[in-house]
């Protein structure tokens, strides 16, 4: 599931709502950092929301240097996601273990609660509801492991008390990759975000 340029056949595939949303997020980020103007952002966003194919979406961001992750995952060599994917707005492990693996939909916001337990969120085969994912944690003597593809961006806003947060092998951040924002509190616990290269 690594990012690559779509082939001519893939560019002709019908775009999904996730594809359109990913392009809109990329355009918003490009406007925020000054790469495109407000009028240009408005024009491109309107075009993105009306786009029928992956090719139409790709042309809107071609000069921004990347292809959106959801297009790669849902169209470029990967089967489209099922109509309904499992999604978890919360994960709770109290003296137990919880794992989220395989194909699932990562919601825009989710909460993770652990007390003397272990939570593993494997996002390597996941689809993302938004380009920006907010994970609010509440951990007490617990362990949270997050597995992602290399290039995923991580922003730490947690409050650590006798706790550790480690990021490993994330590689160079990609502007088209999801941004995972961690908030909340972590007491006598550990959070590890590890990046992997290639398929899960």
Exposed, middle or buried, 63 (CB in 10 Å: 0-12/13-18/19+)? exposed
| 63-67, 134-138, 151-155: segment of lowest average pLDDT | 63-67
Helix-helix angle 38-50:17-32, to 10 degrees: 180
Is residue 19 a part of any domain in this protein? yes
User: 3-state class of 1 per DSSP?
Assistant: coil
Examine residue 34 and state whether it is found in any structural domain, yes or no. Answer: yes
Question: Could you report the per-residue pLDDT of 87-110, keeping only the tens digit for each?
Answer: 888 999 999 999 999 888 888 899
Tally of CB atoms within 10 A around 166: 9
Residue range(s) defining the domain that contains residue 19: 8-74
Name, in order, each residue with C-beta under 8 angstroms of 128's C-beta and a sequence gap of 6 or more.
18, 69, 70, 105, 106, 178
Tell whether 2 is covered by a domain: no
Q: In this structure, are 113 and 180 located in the same domain?
A: yes
> What confidence tier does 8 reach under pLDDT thresholds 50, 70, 90?
low
- 51-60 pLDDT, tens digit per residue, is 888 788 878 8
């Amino acid at each position: 599931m690594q990012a690559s340029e779509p082939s001519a056949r893939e560019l002709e595939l019908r775009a999904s709502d996730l594809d359109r949303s990913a392009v809109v997020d990329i355009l918003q980020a490009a406007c925020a950092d000054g790469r495109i103007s407000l009028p240009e952002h408005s024009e491109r966003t309107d075009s993105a929301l009306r786009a029928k194919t992956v090719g139409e979406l790709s042309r809107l961001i071609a000069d921004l240097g990347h292809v959106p992750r959801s297009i790669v995952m849902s169209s470029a060599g990967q089967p489209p996601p099922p109509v309904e994917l499992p999604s978890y707005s919360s994960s709770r492990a109290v003296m137990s273990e919880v794992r989220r693996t395989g194909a699932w939909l990562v919601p825009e916001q989710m909460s993770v609660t652990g007390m003397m337990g272990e939570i593993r969120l494997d996002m390597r085969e996941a689809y993302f509801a938004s380009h920006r994912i907010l994970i609010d944690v509440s951990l007490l003597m617990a362990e949270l492991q997050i597995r992602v593809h290399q290039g995923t961006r991580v922003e730490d806003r947690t409050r650590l008390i006798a706790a550790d947060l480690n990021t490993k092998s994330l590689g160079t951040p990609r502007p088209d990759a999801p941004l995972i924002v961690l908030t909340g509190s972590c007491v006598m616990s550990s959070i590890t975000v590890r990046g992997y290269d290639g398929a899960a």
